[in-house]
Amino acid sequence: MKKFSKNLLNASLALCMCGALILSTQISAANETVERAAIELKENQFVTLTFHDVRDDVENQTDRDMYAISTKNLAQYLAWIKKEGWKPIRLEDVWAARQKQQILPERAVLLTFDDGALSSYSKVYPLLKQYNIPAVFAIPTSWINGNTQAGYEAYGQGNLMNWNQMREMQKSGLVEFVSHSNDLHKGIQANPQKNMEPAAIVREYFPQLNRYETDAEYKTRVVEDLKKSKQVLDHELGIDTKAIFWPYGAVTPEAEEFAKQAGLPMSFSLGSVVSLADSVRTYQRSLIMNNPEPEQIHQDMNDFIINSKAPYKQRKSFVRMNASELVSSSLAESEERLGNLLNQVQALKTSHLLVPAVADTDADGQYDLAFFPNTQIKQQQDVLNRLVWQTRTRIGNRVYAELPVQLELKQGISLATLTADLLKNNTSLEGLVIDTQDQLACAVEKANWDASCEQQLQQVLRIKEQSKNQAKYYANISNDYQNALKLELKTSHLDGLSTLLNRSMKSSDFMYINVDPIQHPQTIPALLKQIKTLSPQQMQRLIVSLNVQQEMSAKDWKFYQQAYQKLRSLSIQKIGINNYQLSKGQVIQQQLYSSLSMNDSSLTYRNPYNNEVKK
């Protein structure tokens, strides 16, 4: 059975794999001149690589620990660093550059090792001395002081360093030690359904009290843990550590503030951004996996730096469904529905799930129910947290929540406050979609806007910006949090689309357009015509989703297939389906798999409805 701490790391990685550098064993050929040009960093920019255990007997791909690297491959990589002109730096160099006291060397790389495994002393330390290369070691202090169960489960009985070994390493001048928390390297219960999520960024759910941890309780727990970790490290090693390397890379700006209060102003997560030393935000680290050789690490470093500059070029395929489909008076039935949904979506091979976070239960035009804990709308059942975590960790789909502007404009509910509650309890959300409903109809229809239309746009952008600021404060920094404005197109008059895209791109990551080709057949041709006039940058920010009706004919399905095909031919790389229902999963799989799926190989096609493999 897999170890708990490794399981949670696997789960947490699923939350940031879209951008984090996961150093794999896939190599692509590249011209050496192109590689060297592409991998150059800006001034004070550095790459951080994160290792875990080091053993002599690590297997490629099939090893029991996917985060381990062999002693041989690590040694070869350290030799490669010297040969290729990369400059290993210390954490104190990053701190000095942050204080504008020095400039980092070109091609700077920071090497880090997590968890305090014994191999850090027995395998890594001798290699650092041999090659005269510095490194940073992140220590979960409670593991060293007797709370050994999780550490032993991860690395084996007795396979943790002790303080005397770390003192020897510290005196060498090559080694720095930082906090990996005291006792946050674990999962805690995050919802009534018993999901175990990273302790540093979760409001714990107390089943015996039927409530969640308050903001004050959460703050006290995290701050006190980090203070203790720093005190132990400073006392045992005679240092003044300034950094926290967050367990599982799980950190929010809120937790980042707690770390500063605990005396740890330098914060490191996992993620998709090549760090700038003089940033005051959390630095992002790249995770070594699957025992890569030096040239593999080099190529993946190169790919990471290039791809981190172009996140909008990534393909996406959305399924939008209502959380109410998962609500049941029976927990067992709710879990069965969730399992069914995950099975269907996994087979469809889409990449993103979009879920409205509120509902109008009596169809009176007022949103009266939420699927997450909050202070403004009645909560029927906390199904959103369970859905988000299970979707991200079990099938690797990233999840957006959706909130309508009507809550603020017509019901007087602060969308920013509601967003804060949403993200506090769902830190692993990929982003938020703001449904503008009919507020931007005038802006998309006309190329020239009157004062009233401009005012409506400004209202929407103000609400979105306030919500975005709240969301980013509580969202996991290791995720590439994004937001979108959603439009419902019901007309063939789309002369303002390009202008609206330009305006919204200044404050939104994407524009999510939903079309109902059956109720409004004239809209699709008009949209395709407008797309031809857009720039590549505008098209990269566009998501187009088609609404599925309860009853559809063979002719309807054919029209949908052709519409998706035309969108692809026009370089629209982000598409979706709206109104997905569990009861319609089979027909959607049959009719739209080839249109929606991001699966590039028919050999891995799986039909969940007949368990047959497609030939």
**Residue 416 within a domain:** yes
Question: Rounded distance, CA 425 to CA 474, Å?
Answer: 9
Q: CB-hemisphere CA count at 13 Å for 447?
A: 2
Is there a single domain that holds both residue 436 and residue 583?
Answer: yes
Instruction: Give the gyration radius of the chain's Cα atoms.
Output: 25
Q: Collapsing DSSP states into helix, strand and coil, what is residue 197?
A: strand
Q: Residue 272: pLDDT band by 50, 70, 90 thresholds? A: low
Sign of the C-alpha dihedral computed for residues 411, 417, 419 and 423 taken in this order: negative
Is there a single domain that holds both residue 536 and residue 558?
Answer: yes
- pLDDT tens for 503-545 read 887 766 899 999 999 999 999 999 999 999 999 999 999 999 9
Residues, the chain: 615
The pLDDT score that the predictor gives to residue 33 is: 37
End-of-domain residue from the set 307, 331, 358: 307
The pLDDT score that the predictor gives to residue 177 is: 98
Least confident of 16-25, 383-392, 507-516, 602-611: 16-25
What mean pLDDT comes out for the span 79-93?
Answer: 94
Residue of 420, 423, 378, 418 whose CA lies nearest to 399: 423
Is there a single domain that holds both residue 470 and residue 520?
Answer: yes
CB 255 within 8 A of CB 476: no
Is there a single domain that holds both residue 386 and residue 263?
Answer: no
Is there a single domain that holds both residue 214 and residue 353?
Answer: no
CB 268 within 8 A of CB 48: yes
Q: Are strands 205-206 and 211-212 parallel, antiparallel or unpaired?
A: antiparallel
- pLDDT tens for 395-450 read 999 999 999 999 999 999 999 999 999 999 999 999 999 999 999 999 999 999 99
Phi-psi bin for 156: left (phi > 0), alpha (psi -120 to 50), beta?
Answer: left
Q: Are strands 45-51 and 196-198 parallel, antiparallel or unpaired?
A: unpaired
Task: Determine the distance from the C-alpha atom of residue 527 to the mean position of all C-alpha atoms in its chain, rounded to a whole number.
Answer: 31
The answer on pLDDT for 206 being more than 80 is yes
Percentage of the chain exceeding pLDDT 90:
75
DSSP string, 516-538: -TTT-TTHHHHHHHHHTTS-HHH
Angle between helices 384-394 and 4-13 (to 10 degrees): 90
CA 348 to each of CA 553, 562, 608: distance values in angstroms, whole numbers, following the listed order: 21, 18, 9
Residue written as token pair 């703050």: 219
Mean pLDDT rounded to a whole number for the chain: 89
Is there a single domain that holds both residue 285 and residue 409?
Answer: no
Tokens of 64: 């029991």
Is pLDDT larger for residue 285 or for residue 480?
Answer: 285
Task: Determine the distance from the C-alpha atom of residue 383 to the mean position of all C-alpha atoms in its chain, rounded to a whole number.
Answer: 20
End-of-domain residue from the set 272, 307, 342: 307
CB 403 within 8 A of CB 467: yes
Question: Rounded distance, CA 590 to CA 428, Å?
Answer: 31
The answer on pLDDT for 389 being more than 90 is yes
What mean pLDDT comes out for the span 249-263?
Answer: 97
End-of-domain residue from the set 254, 283, 307: 307
571, amino acid identity? S
Question: Rounded distance, CA 120 to CA 159, Å?
Answer: 10
**Residue 261 within a domain:** yes
Q: Residue 302: pLDDT band by 50, 70, 90 thresholds? A: confident
Tokens of 143: 């593991």
Is there a single domain that holds both residue 427 and residue 489?
Answer: yes
Buried b (16+ CB within 10 A) or exposed e, 135-156: bbbbbbbbbbeeebebbebbbe
Instruction: Provide CB contacts within 8 A for 518, sequence distance 6+.
Output: 547, 549, 552, 556
Question: Rounded distance, CA 332 to CA 322, Å?
Answer: 19
The pLDDT score that the predictor gives to residue 160 is: 96
The pLDDT score that the predictor gives to residue 22 is: 41
The pLDDT score that the predictor gives to residue 27 is: 32
CB 25 within 8 A of CB 61: yes
Q: Residue 243 belongs to what H/E stretch?
A: strand 243-245
CB 371 within 8 A of CB 400: no
Instruction: Provide CB contacts within 8 A for 377, sequence distance 6+.
Output: 358, 367, 368, 369, 370, 413, 418
Tokens of 568: 């692809």
The pLDDT score that the predictor gives to residue 279 is: 79
Q: Residue 613: pLDDT band by 50, 70, 90 thresholds? A: very low
Domain that holds residue 162: 4-307
Is there a single domain that holds both residue 177 and residue 326?
Answer: no
**Residue 607 within a domain:** no
Buried b (16+ CB within 10 A) or exposed e, 375-413: eebebebbbbbbbbbbbbbebebbbbbbbbbbbbbeeeb
pTM, 2 dp: 0.88
Residue written as token pair 């395709």: 528
Percentage of the chain exceeding pLDDT 70:
90
The answer on pLDDT for 9 being more than 60 is no
Least confident of 230-234, 263-267, 298-302: 298-302
**Residue 612 within a domain:** no
Question: Rounded distance, CA 263 to CA 260, Å?
Answer: 5
Q: Are strands 69-70 and 175-179 parallel, antiparallel or unpaired?
A: unpaired
The pLDDT score that the predictor gives to residue 44 is: 87
Q: Residue 257: pLDDT band by 50, 70, 90 thresholds? A: very high
The pLDDT score that the predictor gives to residue 307 is: 58
Q: CB-hemisphere CA count at 13 Å for 314?
A: 18
The pLDDT score that the predictor gives to residue 170 is: 97
CB 23 within 8 A of CB 299: no
Residue of 374, 371, 360 whose CA lies nearest to 338: 371
The pLDDT score that the predictor gives to residue 110 is: 95
Q: Collapsing DSSP states into helix, strand and coil, what is residue 516?
A: coil
CATH number of the domain enclosing 326: 3.20.20.80
**Residue 43 within a domain:** yes
214, amino acid identity? T
Is there a single domain that holds both residue 358 and residue 291?
Answer: no
Is there a single domain that holds both residue 297 and residue 363?
Answer: no
C-beta contacts of 126-132 below 8 A and 24+ residues apart = 127/71, 127/74, 127/75, 127/78, 128/78, 128/172, 128/174, 128/175, 129/172, 129/174, 130/75, 130/78, 131/78, 131/79, 131/81, 131/82, 132/174
The answer on pLDDT for 61 being more than 60 is yes
Is pLDDT larger for residue 247 or for residue 328?
Answer: 247
Tokens of 342: 């995950």
- pLDDT tens for 88-135 read 999 999 999 999 999 999 899 999 999 999 999 999 999 999 999 999
Q: Residue 298: pLDDT band by 50, 70, 90 thresholds? A: confident
**Residue 262 within a domain:** yes
The answer on pLDDT for 321 being more than 80 is yes
**Residue 388 within a domain:** yes
The pLDDT score that the predictor gives to residue 308 is: 58
Is there a single domain that holds both residue 293 and residue 316?
Answer: no
- Name the domain count of the chain: 2
Q: Residue 292: pLDDT band by 50, 70, 90 thresholds? A: very high
Question: Rounded distance, CA 432 to CA 354, Å?
Answer: 9
The pLDDT score that the predictor gives to residue 10 is: 59
What mean pLDDT comes out for the span 238-261?
Answer: 97
**Residue 53 within a domain:** yes
CATH number of the domain enclosing 250: 3.20.20.370
The pLDDT score that the predictor gives to residue 415 is: 96
Is there a single domain that holds both residue 267 and residue 414?
Answer: no
